Structure 1
């Protein structure tokens, strides 16, 4: 995990740098109750982040990452996908996400992301997603959410294909060069389609990096993590 100071290597977050952080519960428009984690910055930069986790849901990594974003000045909420089928509860290493993840739909993600965004303060809001959440972050760029941009790590372009023409905010695509889940040709085709449609976007491929390099393999990919963190900060500065 990369530190909010882009000159420092990955390491544990420093909760002393945030005003407040901890678990909350969101209630979406359809009545779904879901786990979330809120981190408020001690020194706000006026921008917000909605974090979309990978298939594990609100794994502790994303709670720590919410704190990281708050350290950098972002009012941040990370939310879980599985309230409808698993209820609220911890999503640690023992959580059986495999039985719940196939039940999650893009419409449900949109509804829950809207609740997360509604819990944040005023100012531009960005989505940041990982793996499944990366795809969903890019999809939300075509939604009615009031976003300033959508960031995704890894992701699957095929999960965004049906909404590409409706994308209305800039995208940042951070791609693992050795991703075993998605062929590089898929990202190249996605990049070309976005270009052909005139959709503002940035794509960066980290050569040799594996899928989930930013979260599960960050210890081996410090330079890639640091570069991705800098790109996120640049992208959200506008």
Structure 2
């Protein structure tokens, strides 16, 4: 498991007022309805972030993260993974996510993310859309760079490269890889994945936090405050470099 119910994302370095936000129901290419949460900055913005959660799906951490991205000036949509197997509902700690995550089809996750990308383009003025994911969602975010969605870039925390190996040749959007040195995925494996993508002419930025554990991007981890601040800096700089 990645984030528990008491985990919360750290605040971005620049915080503006948040406008409209709340629950959302989206429809995937196969007709599946699934839950999502959207948040928007009060000020106009041509940038958007689609958030791919950890294995628990859309729980409080990711609703808060959508609000944090809106504070940072981006439209944000966080999606759930379990519309096909669990319907639309709460994904708190009582939700038996392990019964459902094993039924996940990576292609279907990509279709759900594509639906969120299409929604944010239709309902906002966004011309540059990015994805960010954590743990399971980190790999799903990198996979989305191969989706043909014309993304401006894809960011992944704690992703497992083997979950992306079948689409490496199709990755077209720039990647930002944020890795924890004390994670269960060896840093060498992450760097090898980045090199494979670079060989296809795609930009990949890798930032490793040597002393940080899995799930370090959490404001309740006071000892990792500096890593959290730098991770925000890396994400916002990546967005600035690739937004159009």
TM-score, normalised to structure 2's length?
0.90
Partner of 2:45 in structure 1?
Answer: 45
Partner of 2:12 in structure 1?
Answer: 4
Question: Which runs of no fewer than 5 residues in structure 1 stay unpaired?
Answer: 7-13
Partner of 2:5 in structure 1?
Answer: none
Q: Is the 8 A contact 1:61 1:215 kept in 2?
A: no
State the alpha-carbon separation in 2 of the partners of residues 192 and 37 from structure 1. Answer: 34
| Offset, 1:233 | 0.5
Residue 208 of structure 2 corresponds to residue 205 of structure 1: yes
Which residue, 136, 144, 159 being the options, matches 1:140?
144
| Offset, 1:217 | 6.0
Q: How does 1:143-162 map to 2 (within 5 A)?
A: 143-162=147-166
Q: Secondary structure at the match of 1:169?
A: coil
State the alpha-carbon separation in 2 of the partners of residues 81 and 186 from structure 1. Answer: 26
State the alpha-carbon separation in 2 of the partners of residues 187 and 165 from structure 1. Answer: 16
| Offset, 1:192 | 2.2
Q: How does 1:86-235 map to 2 (within 5 A)?
A: 86-120=86-120, 121=124, 122-180=126-184, 182-215=185-218, 218-235=221-238
Q: Is the 8 A contact 1:18 1:71 kept in 2?
A: yes
State the alpha-carbon separation in 1 of the partners of residues 166 and 30 from structure 2. Answer: 24
State the alpha-carbon separation in 2 of the partners of residues 130 and 77 from structure 1. Answer: 14
Q: Is the 8 A contact 1:24 1:37 kept in 2?
A: yes
State the alpha-carbon separation in 2 of the partners of residues 212 and 165 from structure 1. Answer: 28
Partner of 2:3 in structure 1?
Answer: none
TM-score, normalised to structure 1's length?
0.92
State the alpha-carbon separation in 2 of the partners of residues 98 and 140 from structure 1. Answer: 23
Residue 88 of structure 2 corresponds to residue 80 of structure 1: no
Question: Which runs of no fewer than 5 residues in structure 2 stay unpaired?
Answer: 1-8
4+ runs of 1 displaced by more than 6 Å?
none
Aligned Cα RMSD in Å? 1.6
